[in-house]
Amino acid sequence: MLDAIFNPAAIAVYGASRNPEKVGHTVLKHLLAGGYEGRLVPINPAAEDVLDLPCYPNAAAACVPIDLAILVVPPKLVEASMREALDCGAKGIVVITAGFKETGKEGAEREIVLTALCREYGARMLGPNCLGLINTANKMNASFAPQMPERGAISVVSQSGALCTAILDLAVERGLGLAKLVSIGNKADLDESDMLEALARDPETKVIACYLESIQSGNRFIEVAERVGRDKPVVVLKAGTTQAGARAASSHTGSLAGADIAYGAAFKRAGVLRADDFESLFDISKALAMQPLPKGDRIAVITNAGGPGIIAADAIERQGMTVAKLTPAIEGKLRAALPSSASAANPIDVLGDAPPERYVTSLEAVMGDAGVDAVVVILTPQAMSLPRETARAIIETQRDGKPVLAAFMGGRDVAPARAEFLFNDLPDYTAPERAVVALRKMCDYAAWKQRPPRVVTRLPINRHRIERIIERHRRTGRVQIGEADAKKILATYHFNVPEGQLARTADDAVAVAEHVGYPVAMKIASPDIIHKSDLGGVKIGLRSASEVRDAFDLMYLRLNRAMPEAELLGAYVEAMCPPGREVILGMTRDPSFGPMLMFGLGGIFVEVMKDVSFNLAPLTHEEAAQMLEGTRSYALLRGARGQKAVDLQALAGALQTLSQLATDFPEIAEMDINPFMVGPPGARSMVADARMTLTEDERSDA
């Protein structure tokens, strides 16, 4: 679909220049230098030829159909140049020129015009404000990055052009091969999801490595990445992780969820592997491109020195993997084959004077051990070491079945070994910890591929009741949905709520109490009062008509005094909840990924210990259960320390239902059920208090 961009037969370079200081000159030079074999058409009304190619005032004058147009003209000429290229048949546009969305509102408007123009012609655009792209398969360097990497299995997608140049420079220095390198710039048309789809179909690409600062359409990204991930691993370095969006956080959920939590949840669901820093982006991609996936996380270490073996074992444990325990037969065989002072137990220490054969013996042994899923081979260059020969021997010994990663430590002495590894697709690292991090991600990816299919169950519900409540709030311009209406909405979704009703007078309140039965709870109803209990707006355990009457009058008296401007709608009177453990269920909306659910134990667990877990809607039952398990206080729910176990099924179900409600009604911006009272298995768990916030009404804009 993006053939015009990746494999054009003819490229027009708008703004091709004779001046070697201009980017328009550089881009054309790189296309020539890279060895692109298609037709190149420089466009520049002021030149007759550029770099020995005939130059044309426009594509039409060149009388040749154009597949791809690269625009390096000044910002104000971009639109006209693009139109001309499209008229000449271009289906792909790369706008290298900057000066659009990144410069402010006016630039953003000009950018929208470009996108619309492309859509009108059925063409696709990369950029603007990008570095261009490189395809090593057809030797096309359509970028202003000077270097052409070797062909390889890793494709890179970067939101930062500068990072592309750094990556290229590094890849060229280390001889690491790339398939495609794409700078997506402002992503006015083609974005990360489009690139994933295109690279999924690229036979050269085995691994997709991305640098991203933002993801525009979160749900599409999840959907595409999940699909692409089935065949090819996607590794992402996400920048901008710590600056949580400065959103008004009116709910618990909103204040506890940093922006990065949604990205983390999205990546996990879609099987996207997250790199923690720039270097590990390549450490991980390299391992995935070169080696098979491990079947489990039991790692064997072969080393010619104790210290680095310990370092590797530490790293394996720290990454939550297992230092493999060798089967006794294999360990015995190793003990017989290695010198007596060697360690035949994992980490296997083949000693400082180890010749290549001793590595081969050990590697063969662990490759044949059913208790080993992957191997890290370490060498430190000692007096007797033969790094290059050892590398060759390891390369020849590795089998297809299990991943082997090398950590040859040092510099000059191990350089020839590094070259051997690179040439033979065995990933090699300067320190064992880096190999171990790569293995961790390989394990994660393997586990993700093995995951059971996601099944999101849905309850049948009656939308109308909820639509009416929202409609009523919209009419009065209120975005806060108070307890009474929030409970009605939740009841529609089959949540248990205590029987109750809004009472406008003390007499009403007594009538409600008589109807639902004593004891009752009473809570002030006011759109202006959020923290009811702080102002004496909550009374519980009222046992008689007179207590109800007293409570109602006192509440009005006090609240009128404390907040004379607050509108009091009455008091909500309801049956008391059966006793149980207090938990909080919440929902907030991430700007990219939509509804995100929160779970935590009530009281100090959320407020002091910040012990909460998150995941994105829609939730499967397994994901809801994982949210419960994801809190440190989970043991209490299961029944630790003499506490009774609570109904975990009911709790997971409640999260799933809330997830459905959030998905069904995008008008609801935030929800908190706080507390949700959960009892022992089989008991009725119940919503004790709840509130919701609607999105700002956007219909006035429509």
Could you say which residues in the range 434-453 bind its own copies, by CB under 8 A?
A: 434
Are 421 and 430 in contact by the 8 Å Cβ rule? The answer is no
* Cα within 13 Å of Cα(339), Cβ side: 13
Comparing CB distances to its own copies, the nearer of 64 and 170 is: 170
Nearest to 141 by CA among 52, 20, 51, 33: 33
Comparing CB distances to its own copies, the nearer of 480 and 633 is: 633
Mark out the alpha helices in 477-533 (DSSP H runs). Answer: 483-492, 506-516
Q: What is the pattern of x (binds its own copies, CB under 8 A) and - over residues 334-373?
A: -------x----------x---------------------
Which of the stretches 41-49, 248-256, 411-419, 621-629 binds its own copies when contact is defined by CB under 8 A?
411-419
Instruction: Return the residues of window 195-224 that contact its own copies according to CB under 8 A.
Output: 211, 213
Using the rule CB under 8 A, is 427 a contact of its own copies? no
Q: Please select the residue that binds its own copies; options are 111, 194, 433, 672, rule is CB under 8 A.
A: 433
Q: Please select the residue that binds its own copies; options are 243, 457, 544, 695, rule is CB under 8 A.
A: 243
Alpha-carbon torsion 663, 664, 670, 673, what sign? Answer: negative
Using the rule CB under 8 A, is 172 a contact of its own copies? yes
Comparing CB distances to its own copies, the nearer of 289 and 323 is: 323
Are 89 and 67 in contact by the 8 Å Cβ rule? The answer is yes
Instruction: Return the residues of window 75-134 that contact its own copies according to CB under 8 A.
Output: 98-99, 102-103
Nearest to 45 by CA among 85, 10, 75, 17: 17
Comparing CB distances to its own copies, the nearer of 633 and 685 is: 633
Comparing CB distances to its own copies, the nearer of 169 and 197 is: 169
Which of the stretches 111-119, 287-295, 469-477, 627-635 binds its own copies when contact is defined by CB under 8 A?
627-635
Tell me which DSSP letter residue 57 carries. S
Instruction: Sort 602 into a burial class: Cβ within 10 Å, 0-12 / 13-18 / 19+.
Output: middle
Please give the Cα distance from 342 to 187 (Å, whole number). Answer: 57
Q: Please select the residue that binds its own copies; options are 140, 235, 270, 311, rule is CB under 8 A.
A: 311
How near is the Cβ of 188 to its own copies at its closest, in Å?
A: 17
How near is the Cβ of 176 to its own copies at its closest, in Å?
A: 9
Please give the Cα distance from 169 to 261 (Å, whole number). Answer: 32
Instruction: Sort 187 into a burial class: Cβ within 10 Å, 0-12 / 13-18 / 19+.
Output: buried
Using the rule CB under 8 A, is 262 a contact of its own copies? no
How near is the Cβ of 544 to its own copies at its closest, in Å?
A: 28
Q: Please select the residue that binds its own copies; options are 69, 126, 140, 145, rule is CB under 8 A.
A: 145
Residues paired with 614 in a beta bridge: 598
Using the rule CB under 8 A, is 414 a contact of its own copies? yes
Please give the Cα distance from 103 to 47 (Å, whole number). Answer: 30
Amino acid letter, residue 406: A
Tokens encoding 564: 């004379």
Instruction: Return the residues of window 659-678 that contact its own copies according to CB under 8 A.
Output: none
CB atoms < 10 A from the CB of 115, how many? Answer: 16
Mark out the alpha helices in 302-342 (DSSP H runs). Answer: 306-318, 328-337
Mark out the alpha helices in 230-318 (DSSP H runs). Answer: 252-256, 259-270, 278-290, 306-318
Instruction: Return the residues of window 553-592 that contact its own copies according to CB under 8 A.
Output: none
Q: Please select the residue that binds its own copies; options are 449, 504, 610, 644, rule is CB under 8 A.
A: 610
Instruction: Return the residues of window 5-34 that contact its own copies according to CB under 8 A.
Output: 23, 26
Tokens encoding 382: 């000692």
Using the rule CB under 8 A, is 233 a contact of its own copies? no
Q: Please select the residue that binds its own copies; options are 8, 15, 42, 161, rule is CB under 8 A.
A: 161
Using the rule CB under 8 A, is 174 a contact of its own copies? yes
